[in-house]
A and B are shown apart, each in its own frame.
Chain A
């Protein structure tokens, strides 16, 4: 798409899609298939059989990005953004997942304009590693992390997840501002069924052991803009390759990061009923007892096949 795109494509011209667009989701009309993730349950519909750490990922919301101090903020493209909101519970994660399948193999690109915030504290304070100095604000250190990831399965049940996470703070609430990836595949309900693990509520479902995460690239400061009620939209573009089951490149505004050396662990065993699975999810995790939000203005997924 050239810079001089016709005005009719104004919504699209802020993106950089590959040759075939699978979906272009603007949230002024419905959630466009971005739904809550829930763990698997038994054949009787008994939700009590869902793993504790996968039973409460919260339903996505369509938000006008309204706040106590300025009212309606609005979004980059229109009236509503897709909003993922955690509970005010340390470690809690909210998700939005989109479920597709693959009609080919090759380069896959997911792009979005997003913003992230901790909920405003009004009339009460919470612990924070950043003090208010007129420019910086405690809210900055009350946001934990957001994650963009896939769930892909093909070629006789080979399953894997490409994962990127922006860790704003560590679990102690100290600013880290680093990109991360896990070196193990996500624990699945079948793993639990087979007795391989049992994780508690609010465990990190993507990779529960903090030692199974690695940093990549240099620290990156985002534009959080001082207080918890200013929304500045960031551009994210991430390429993976399903023909080689690999990461390719991550772009965040003007920072381009080569990800070709970032590994993508596959499951040692094979999975059924998932042929050509191509899922994407966004998640947000709070590291303190405060709600964390991830706002998506719009999302575009494109491929080269």
Chain B
């Protein structure tokens, strides 16, 4: 039987410019999926997946940058990563642009 595990990385994070989630280790997982739920969103939300071999130094993963402009859920798959994952969330637009985010990370062996 395969293993799976869901982590709630953020529950109601208010992002007005940029937020990188805390480093999360998934050394056992072959695949992972982010779910970013924008409960509130004004402006543009840009989501960049980042990977790290040590939890200290990061680079973009081999995943396209995703964008959202309305509240709702955005999800994407990540494979072939090295141990640590995080997502960098940027909000841009008119003054006052902001996002209220719940972020899940699901790993599967």
Nearest CB on A from B8, distance (A): 6
Q: Is B53 an interface residue (CB 8 A)?
A: yes
- Cβ of A66 and Cβ of B5 under 8 Å apart? no
- Cβ of A61 and Cβ of B3 under 8 Å apart? no
For chain B, which range describes its interface: under 10, 10 to 19, 20 to 34, or 35 or more residues?
20 to 34
* Residues 32-80 of A at the B interface (beta carbon under 8 Å): 36, 47-48, 55-56, 58-59, 61-64, 66-68, 72, 79-80
> Quick check: which of B21-29, B42-50, B61-69 contacts chain A, the rest being far away?
B21-29
Known: A29-B3, A31-B5, A122-B56. A62 touches B12 (CB 8 A): no
For A62, give its contact among B25, B56, B57 (CB under 8 Å): B25
- Cβ of A47 and Cβ of B22 under 8 Å apart? no
- Cβ of A30 and Cβ of B3 under 8 Å apart? yes
Instruction: Give the secondary structure class of A's interface.
Output: loop
**Number of contacts between A and B (CB, 8 Å)?**
55
- Cβ of B11 and Cβ of A62 under 8 Å apart? no
Instruction: Give the secondary structure class of B's interface.
Output: loop
* Residues 114-149 of A at the B interface (beta carbon under 8 Å): 119-120, 122
Contacts of A59 in B (CB 8 A): 7-9, 24
Q: Which of A48, A62, A67, A87 has the most CB of B within 10 A?
A: A62
Q: How many residues of A contact B (CB 8 A)?
A: 26
A sample of 14 more A-B contacts (CB under 8 A), given A59-B8, A61-B7, A64-B25, is A30-B3, A30-B5, A36-B8, A47-B11, A47-B12, A59-B24, A61-B26, A64-B28, A66-B55, A79-B28, A85-B22, A85-B23, A87-B22, A122-B56
12 contacts between A and B (CB under 8 A): A29-B3, A56-B11, A59-B24, A61-B24, A62-B28, A63-B27, A66-B27, A66-B53, A68-B53, A68-B54, A79-B27, A85-B23
